[in-house]
């Protein structure tokens, strides 16, 4: 569907010239006689008053006169500017534009339907849809316009062009500009607007080639094989008079155009370059002169396109076959086109920014929605885990407590009967043994829960010592031997460590706990007549502990849940095996605390193999029986020790994480008395105390500091949350230096290194 474009001439002329035009309309109407219709604003007002319409008549109604003859439709509009005593005029010969104008008038003055019908019969129905402006009439219009002192366009070419050509060019220019305006208002695609505009302008001005040379074009948006440059200057749009004209689309030449780019400020101020003949032009440097010859450019007119006071590119007209004497009207018209294109470009940029913001907002909304969904799912999982945990812990507590309460009640009732109820000694011993076992089971459960809690809080200490692996393995197997015999399960040990490599550095108690958990787990899930095997061997710098059973096995879907806390592979409502799901989770944490890792292989119905990998340690790395704090990393921290005395958990946690990551051991204590007791045991290299402690406590600590490194005193450093400006008080308090959490991590660690060295 094509969009109608009114053919309108717009000018600002003197009052005298307007009266001459008005008289021309009246004179032509009288000459046409009865065939002519002449209608003015005074007739319109008289017409609506006669038809009993009472409009609010003011002086803002512009003057107009309409002339209709068999050969001509002509509407003259004029709005007076009293300050300059001039008129802004519009002239149109197009019947659709005339009809639209009168329709707006009837709406403005609320003309009744009957009155509008009368107006149609008198004026609008007489419009000639196939008229052509009379040559004599248009000549007189041009004569009046060119005589206007404010009119600058026609004198330079009036003598060289036919009058109808003058009118046609002007009307076409207005049509193109109006079409661009409409497309901009309708948010038409920018490439479509630019391409349509330059094609029509190229045709109207009879140009050989019209191009858009754009600056700072992203390389991905053009057809180019050069992927090294992010932004380039290049021709992005092109219109040609014929296929015989060479295309320069996507042409770029930064070397020759470098000098032109230096004059960006001139182009930003509206400067246009007019070259009538490139062969005789002396402004060009040799590079540009050769480039014009190579591109076959005989004449050119360059108009800048400025978007928001920034030079966006150039609108460049080329004559390739002959030179050309560019007219001022052509230069002005290209400037108007450039201004309209700048509006379209700015609108497109704003739209793209809005779309980008919209997309970003949508992504943020989707991210938040996903986070909320994940949080809801996590809450549901946590609720389910809580339900499962409560069910498991209730089951595990109820069974031994029932035994304890029931059997202790039986013994109590028997003791109160004073021998009246017979109860053999064997039964008494059996009941007491069951009560003891149930108590041990409850104690083990509580210890496991507390141990997991301490591990997660990072407050767990390993007691590293040197011991025999073979002796450890035999003790562990002996501990679970009775359970295995009760279930008729065969236990075996495959010890493949050389005698000279038998000694191992680790926390013996915790390593025993790891192996006991794995062996007990294997015995629990292996049916009668089955087999559980413990294997120990060394590979390179690791010691491997493997526990294999031929029990019920684990499905592949359940393997990821195996080491999660409070996860049971059976529902507590349908459980055939005891436990609350802490054994393997605790085992994994203890293994990682030693700097190792654990893996599992299992086939449902065939059995499972649990493998623990622990790094070998040497006496140089870890002294025997020395307490060492681990940060959760899989490598043991260096032996240089720092004691931190702090009561603010947030500050202490931050400093512990930073110092541990740097390769030091750090022991966090919360009071001075404990620190004094531990200094002699831990033999620290540096002592850090939080600023919140009193002078008396600092003095008490300072008085009890031992001497290290051949008589040197252990340095005492104060820890501040912010930078402290009262450094002169350190020595008075017995403080050697200070640290601040406001320091960058690198500064803080450098200072600690310097203090220790």
pLDDT for 727: 52
For 700, other C-beta atoms within 10 Å of its C-beta total 15
* pLDDT greater than 90 at residue 570: no
Geometric angle at alpha carbon 79, from 73 and 82, rounded to 5° = 150
Tokens linked to 752: 């600690």
Looking at the chain, the whole-number percentage of residues with pLDDT higher than 90 is 13
Contacts for 626 with CB less than 8 Å, ≥ 6 apart: 464, 639
Per-residue pLDDT averaged across 529-545, rounded? 91
DSSP conformational letter for 549 = E
* pLDDT greater than 60 at residue 634: no
Tell me which of 204 and 639 has the higher pLDDT. 204
Q: pLDDT tens digit string along 179-203?
A: 777 777 776 688 888 898 889 888 8
Per-residue pLDDT averaged across 491-510, rounded? 89
Q: What span, in angstroms and rounded, lies between the C-alpha atoms of 676 and 704?
A: 7
Q: What span, in angstroms and rounded, lies between the C-alpha atoms of 83 and 431?
A: 119
Would 460-615 and 637-756 be classified into the same CATH topology? Answer: no
CA distances from 41 to 47, 144, 297 (A): 10, 22, 53
Looking at the chain, the whole-number percentage of residues with pLDDT higher than 70 is 77
Q: pLDDT tens digit string along 318-369?
A: 999 889 988 887 888 888 888 888 888 888 888 888 888 889 999 999 988 9
* pLDDT greater than 60 at residue 579: no
CATH architecture for residues 637-756: 3-Layer(aba) Sandwich (3.40)
Q: Among the listed ranges 21-35, 344-358, 448-462, which one has the minimum average pLDDT value?
A: 448-462
pLDDT for 163: 53
Yes or no: say if 700 and 672 are a contact pair by the CB < 8 Å rule.
Answer: yes
Q: pLDDT tens digit string along 138-156?
A: 768 877 876 654 444 443 3
For 125, other C-beta atoms within 10 Å of its C-beta total 9
- Four-way CATH pick for 460-615: 1.10.3720.10, 3.30.565.10, 3.40.50.300, 3.40.50.720: 3.30.565.10
* pLDDT greater than 70 at residue 506: yes
* pLDDT greater than 50 at residue 625: no
Yes or no: say if 193 and 346 are a contact pair by the CB < 8 Å rule.
Answer: no
Q: What span, in angstroms and rounded, lies between the C-alpha atoms of 215 and 314?
A: 8
For 174, other C-beta atoms within 10 Å of its C-beta total 19
H helical segments located in 417-488: 425-456, 469-486
Q: What span, in angstroms and rounded, lies between the C-alpha atoms of 410 and 421?
A: 11
pLDDT for 656: 82
Tokens linked to 654: 């931050």
Q: pLDDT tens digit string along 390-441?
A: 666 666 677 778 778 877 877 777 777 766 677 777 877 788 878 877 777 6
pLDDT tier at 443 (50, 70, 90 boundaries)? confident
DSSP state string for 153-222: SSTTTGGGS-HHHHHHHHHHHHHHHHHHHHHHHTT--HHHHHHHHHHHHHHHTT-SEEEEEEEEEEGGGS
pLDDT tier at 725 (50, 70, 90 boundaries)? low
Report domain extents, the chain: 8-161, 187-326, 460-615, 637-756
187-326, which class in CATH?
alpha beta
* pLDDT greater than 90 at residue 545: yes
* Nearest CA among 219, 223, 225, 214 for reference residue 190: 214
CA distances from 202 to 130, 154, 245 (A): 28, 21, 13
Per-residue pLDDT averaged across 114-118, rounded? 82
- Return the residue matching tokens 């049509």: 175
Geometric angle at alpha carbon 511, from 507 and 513, rounded to 5° = 120
pLDDT for 6: 45
* pLDDT greater than 90 at residue 532: yes
Per-residue pLDDT averaged across 151-180, rounded? 59
**Total number of residues shown for the chain:** 757
Geometric angle at alpha carbon 348, from 343 and 353, rounded to 5° = 130
Per-residue pLDDT averaged across 211-222, rounded? 80
pLDDT for 59: 47
Per-residue pLDDT averaged across 61-65, rounded? 84
Q: pLDDT tens digit string along 305-314?
A: 998 888 999 9
């Amino acid at each position: 569907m094509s969009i109608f474009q009114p053919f309108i001439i717009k000018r600002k002329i003197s009052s005298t010239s307007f009266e001459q035009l008005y008289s021309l309309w009246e004179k032509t109407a009288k000459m046409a006689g009865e065939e002519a219709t002449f209608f003015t604003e005074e007739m319109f007002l008289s017409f609506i008053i006669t038809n009993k319409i009472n409009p609010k008549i003011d002086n803002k109604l512009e003057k107009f006169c309409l002339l209709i003859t068999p050969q001509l439709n002509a509407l003259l509009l004029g709005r007076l500017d009293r300050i300059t005593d001039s008129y802004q005029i519009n002239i149109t010969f197009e019947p659709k534009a005339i009809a639209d104008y009168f329709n707006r008038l009837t709406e403005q003055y609320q003309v009744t339907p009957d009155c509008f019908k009368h107006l149609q019969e008198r004026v609008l129905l007489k419009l000639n849809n196939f008229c052509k402006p009379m040559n004599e009439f248009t000549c007189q219009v041009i004569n009046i316009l060119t005589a206007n002192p404010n009119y600058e366009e026609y004198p330079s070419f009036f003598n060289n062009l036919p009058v109808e050509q003058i009118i046609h060019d002007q009307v076409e220019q207005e049509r193109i500009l109006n079409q661009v305006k409409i497309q901009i208002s309708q948010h038409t695609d920018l490439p479509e607007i630019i391409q349509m505009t330059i094609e029509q302008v190229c045709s109207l001005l009879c140009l050989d080639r019209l191009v858009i040379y754009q600056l700072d074009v992203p390389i991905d948006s053009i057809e180019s094989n050069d992927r090294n440059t992010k932004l380039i200057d290049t021709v992005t749009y092109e219109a040609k008079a014929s296929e015989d004209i060479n295309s320069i689309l996507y042409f770029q030449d930064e070397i020759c155009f470098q000098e032109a780019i230096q004059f960006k400020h001139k182009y930003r101020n509206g400067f246009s370059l007019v070259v009538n003949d490139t062969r005789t032009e002396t402004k060009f440097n040799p590079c540009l002169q050769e480039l014009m010859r190579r591109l076959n450019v005989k004449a050119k007119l360059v108009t800048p396109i400025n978007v928001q006071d920034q030079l966006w590119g150039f609108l460049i007209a080329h004559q390739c076959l002959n030179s050309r004497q560019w007219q001022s009207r052509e230069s002005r018209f290209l400037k108007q086109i450039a201004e309209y294109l700048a509006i379209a470009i700015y609108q497109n940029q704003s739209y793209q920014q809005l779309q980008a913001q919209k997309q970003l907002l949508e992504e943020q909304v989707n991210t938040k929605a996903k986070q909320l969904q994940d949080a809801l799912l996590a809450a549901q999982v946590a609720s389910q885990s809580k339900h499962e945990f409560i069910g498991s812990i209730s089951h595990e507590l109820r069974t031994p407590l029932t035994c304890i309460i029931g059997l202790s009640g039986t013994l109590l009732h028997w003791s109160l009967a004073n021998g009246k109820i017979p109860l053999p000694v064997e039964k008494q011993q059996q009941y007491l043994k069951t009560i003891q076992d149930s108590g041990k089971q409850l104690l083990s459960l509580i210890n496991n829960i507390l141990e997991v809690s301490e591990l997660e809080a990072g407050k767990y200490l390993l007691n590293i010592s040197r011991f025999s692996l073979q002796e450890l393995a035999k003790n562990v197997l002996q501990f679970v031997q009775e359970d295995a015999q009760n279930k008729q399960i065969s236990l075996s040990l495959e010890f493949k460590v050389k005698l000279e490599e038998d000694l191992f550095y680790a926390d013996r108690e915790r390593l025993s706990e790891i192996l006991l958990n794995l062996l007990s787990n294997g015995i629990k899930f292996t049916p009668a007549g089955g087999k559980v095997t413990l294997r120990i061997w060394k590979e390179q710098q690791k010691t491997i502990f493997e526990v294999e059973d031929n029990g019920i096995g684990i499905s592949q879907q359940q393997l990821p849940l195996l080491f999660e806390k409070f996860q049971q592979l059976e529902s507590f409502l349908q459980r055939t095996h005891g436990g609350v799901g802490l054994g393997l989770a605790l085992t994994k944490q203890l293994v990682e605390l030693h700097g190792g890792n654990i893996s599992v292989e299992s086939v449902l119905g065939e059995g499972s193999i649990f493998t623990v990998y622990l790094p070998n340690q040497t006496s140089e790395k870890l002294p025997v029986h020395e307490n060492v704090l681990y940060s959760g990393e899989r490598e043991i921290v260096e032996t240089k020790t720092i004691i931190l005395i702090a009561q603010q958990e947030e500050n202490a946690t931050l400093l512990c994480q930073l110092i541990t990551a740097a390769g030091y051991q750090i022991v966090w204590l919360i009071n001075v008395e404990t620190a004094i007791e531990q200094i002699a045991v831990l033999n620290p290299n540096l002592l850090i105390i939080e600023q919140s402690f009193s002078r008396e406590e600092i003095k008490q600590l300072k008085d009890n500091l031992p001497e290290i490194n051949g008589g040197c005193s252990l340095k005492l450093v104060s820890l501040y949350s912010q930078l402290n400006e009262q450094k002169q008080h350190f020595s008075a308090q017995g403080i050697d230096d200070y640290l601040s959490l406001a320091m960058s991590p690198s500064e803080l660690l450098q200072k600690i290194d310097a203090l220790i060295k």
